[in-house]
């Protein structure tokens, strides 16, 4: 064995001797003792290297054994997960989470074991095994956790809805939430479409979304007691839809979900009937504010000034009522439609009669109230006119105080009163036309003057 370091040292001391450099005797002694010591040191290194080489063989064998055990652990865990992972709805969410979390902890333990092996693999230059099975197991557990979170959250949401009072449900919010759940479940379907729990969840959401139109129809604000009564008769079931105990769960339990077409038809009819209700309400509101246009006449009387706007509204609303009366929903509003049809017909008839009476009265008032001679010549007709004049004055004064057209024209006896005035004025008119010495007769007949 060569000792390059020792030889170099000896050469240096030889050089010192050659040039007569004085060297301490103890250094010369240590130089001579160094060779056997150095030889022992190198021998010890050889033994250590031999022991290390032998230990490496044992370490590699142990590492390979541990690596094989690790691989077996990965495969066994994969097999267990494939068998025991909760992919069906036989378990409750809480039970499923226990299984998932247990397997998750075991996967974490496997990854820790892999980290422990990595130092030995680096020493021997061995590649770290990449098991697809481990990645697949981790992915499946993550997917299982996601689907079971959705199952749990959906169950909680649906339980809240089904036990809440039906008429207080927020239908828009329900539809939005169900749509979000359905989107998330659909996305998971790309990975776990064959899992029973996914199929079950998808079915529940699909069925719920399919019942949303039914729920919306039942919650239609246009639905009236008569529509619910029809539904109860057809189902032969008795229930109180206004009760606090009437819930979404009740809707399914009494079989309403089995007759979506009937409920849809009832709801559609309710919407059409609501339009009729609103039309009738508009008519009622409108006529509550329509007044007879009254103005003063000769400072002591009142008369109708204009009826153009009134008759235009009368015509429009009469057409609207006629259209409603021709619909199949007439029976549901028969009394109100007939009442308003009669009221508006009476308004039209009374206003037209008042206008007729008013024209005759205005002309005759200028004759009988302005000339004493005519009263003497026609005492009977004069007395009759005074009656009409008094009555007309009362009628128009009352209309001036309360000009609402419907109130005045439908007042008890109003048609008879106006008709009676017209009849009396007609008698007066005929008497004047036939009276030979009547001073008002001239080139233009009295009848023509009054009607012009």
Spatial separation of the C-alpha atoms in residues 326 and 383, rounded to whole Å: 50
Q: Which domain holds residue 314?
A: 288-451
Sign of CA dihedral 138, 144, 147, 148: negative
383 within domain boundaries: yes
73 within domain boundaries: no
What total number of domains does the chain contain?
1
Task: Specify the pTM.
Answer: 0.66
What CATH number should be reported for the domain holding residue 356?
1.20.140.100
361 within domain boundaries: yes
440 within domain boundaries: yes
The answer to whether 81 and 141 are in contact (CB under 8 A) is yes
DSSP character for 153? H
321 within domain boundaries: yes
151 within domain boundaries: no
Helix axes 379-401, 414-434, angle to 10 degrees: 150
For the chain, which residues score pLDDT lower than 50? 1-2, 441-452
Spatial separation of the C-alpha atoms in residues 279 and 286, rounded to whole Å: 10
- DSSP 3-state assignment of 165? strand
Amino acid 441: pLDDT: 47
426 within domain boundaries: yes
Spatial separation of the C-alpha atoms in residues 261 and 251, rounded to whole Å: 15
Amino acid 443: pLDDT: 32
Spatial separation of the C-alpha atoms in residues 113 and 59, rounded to whole Å: 17
The string of pLDDT tens digits covering residues 47-70 is: 776 766 666 666 667 767 777 887
Structure-token pair, residue 127: 């590649």
26 within domain boundaries: no
């Amino acid at each position: 064995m060569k000792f390059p370091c020792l030889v170099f040292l000896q050469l240096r001391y030889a050089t010192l001797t050659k040039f007569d450099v004085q060297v301490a005797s103890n250094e010369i002694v240590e130089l001579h003792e160094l060779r056997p010591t150095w030889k022992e040191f190198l021998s010890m290194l050889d033994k250590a290297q031999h022991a290390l080489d032998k230990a490496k063989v044992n370490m590699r064998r142990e590492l390979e054994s541990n690596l094989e055990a690790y691989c077996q652990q990965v495969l066994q865990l994969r097999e267990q997960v494939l068998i025991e992972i909760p992919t069906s709805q036989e378990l409750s969410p809480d039970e499923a989470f226990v299984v998932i979390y247990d397997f998750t902890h075991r996967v974490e333990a496997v990854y820790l074991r892999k980290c422990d092996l990595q130092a030995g693999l680096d020493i021997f230059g061995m590649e770290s095994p990449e098991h697809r099975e481990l990645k697949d197991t981790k992915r499946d557990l993550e997917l299982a956790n996601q689907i079971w979170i959705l199952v749990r959250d959906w169950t909680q949401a649906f339980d809240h809805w089904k036990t809440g009072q039906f008429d207080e449900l927020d239908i828009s919010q329900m539809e939005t939430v169900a749509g979000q759940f359905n989107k998330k479940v659909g996305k998971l379907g790309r990975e776990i479409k064959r899992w029973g729990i996914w199929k079950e969840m998808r079915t529940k959401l699909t069925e719920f979304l399919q019942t949303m139109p039914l729920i919306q129809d039942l919650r239609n604000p246009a639905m009236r007691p008569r529509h619910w009564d029809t539904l109860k008769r057809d189902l032969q079931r008795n229930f109180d839809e206004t009760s606090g105990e009437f819930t979404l769960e009740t809707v399914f339990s009494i079989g309403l979900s089995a007759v979506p077409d009937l409920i849809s038809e009832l709801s559609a009819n309710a919407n059409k009937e609501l339009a009729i209700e609103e039309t009738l309400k508009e008519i009622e509101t409108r006529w509550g504010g329509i007044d007879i246009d009254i103005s003063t006449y000769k400072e002591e009387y009142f008369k109708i000034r204009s009826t153009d706007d009134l008759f235009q509204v009368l015509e429009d609303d009469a057409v609207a009522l006629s259209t409603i009366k021709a619909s199949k929903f007439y029976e549901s509003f028969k009394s109100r439609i007939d009442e308003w049809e009669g009221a508006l017909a009476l308004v039209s008839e009374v206003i037209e009669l008042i206008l007729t009476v008013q024209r005759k009265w205005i002309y005759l008032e200028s004759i009988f109230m302005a000339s004493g001679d005519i009263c003497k010549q026609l005492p009977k007709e004069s007395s009759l006119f005074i009656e009409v004049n008094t009555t007309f004055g009362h009628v128009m004064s009352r209309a001036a105080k309360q000009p609402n057209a419907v109130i005045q024209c439908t007042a008890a006896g109003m048609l008879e009163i106006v008709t009676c005035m017209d009849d009396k004025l007609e008698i007066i008119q005929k008497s004047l036309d036939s009276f030979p010495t009547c001073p008002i007769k001239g080139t233009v007949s009295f009848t023509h003057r009054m009607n012009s």
